[in-house]
Structure 1
């Protein structure tokens, strides 16, 4: 069962790590751009980030996890993609609070609830995407193409 092991553990773990790191960098950049646009009161940039940030936080983990499963990055990497938005938000709030950035309040108890909600939504989304990717891999193996199992 090389396909099952590749899907669960991951044959391309390095690619999975880069998937998680790359997504974290994109989400962090999106949050920083949104914060800068809001601080500078740039309406065009704020309108763009109001549409871009929910796309990154809520909708991107599912297709990324599906692509990671299809690329056989492994379940842990695919599910980690779902937790990335919550970790990035929590990290930015902690750093912003420690540095003293105005408008960032890490002492607000609602931030913890928002972070946990982001994690729950992202993890659910990534799990569904992972299941879709596994289904695509198994269907491709059943039809006889895309397997790549040479070992």
Structure 2
């Protein structure tokens, strides 16, 4: 039962917070670099961010959620990874609109649709990744590899 509780609710809050905050920082940094490179017209930086940003936004939540489940960060943290790109994008657009950054248009009605789409894609990816991580943990426990989940410290 400690494994199930650890998988569902998490037992390593520092890792869970680090997972979500670290991913949010990576997405924010990539988005700011992409915007700055696009504004400056730097072709090399734009080419790099054109490849890096989609990987972070669309493909990274699944593997990160799987790793979080395997590390027993809990379902809420693993699923939160899925909405990070949407929240960062929405926050970036909102802040850019409030501050008046040229090129950031929060008045566009499609930005809400894009944000919701990012959230749906990220949550789906994170859910599938979380399920894969839970399956990996349960398979490792069944095969007797991996050791204790660390819930009670006695190595059960």
> Is TM-score (shorter-chain normalized) higher than 0.5?
yes
Alignment correspondent of 1:79: 79
Correspondence 1:69 to 2:69: yes
Offset of 1:98 from its aligned partner? Answer: 0.5
Structure 1 residue ranges (4+ consecutive) displaced by more than 3 angstroms after TM superposition: none
In the TM superposition, residue 149 of structure 1 has moved relative to its aligned partner by: 3.4
SS in 2 for 1:115: helix
Secondary structure (helix, strand or coil) at the match of 2:21 reads helix
Give the superposition deviation at 1:13. Answer: 1.7
Shift of 1:145: 1.4
Q: How does 1:2-151 map to 2 (within 5 A)?
A: 2-150=2-150, 151=152
RMSD between aligned residues: 0.8
Q: Secondary structure at the match of 1:90?
A: helix
Kindly state the Cα deviation for residue 143 of structure 1 after the two structures are TM-superposed.
0.5
Cα separation, 2, equivalents of 1:98 and 1:11: 39
Query: What TM-score, normalized by structure 1, do the two folds share?
Result: 0.98
CA distance in 2, matches of 1:95, 1:52: 22
The offset of 1:148, in angstroms, is: 1.4
In the alignment of these two chains, the number of paired residues is 151
| Distance in 2 (alpha carbons) for counterparts of 1:106 and 1:117 | 16
**Any gaps of 5 or more consecutive residues in structure 1?**
none
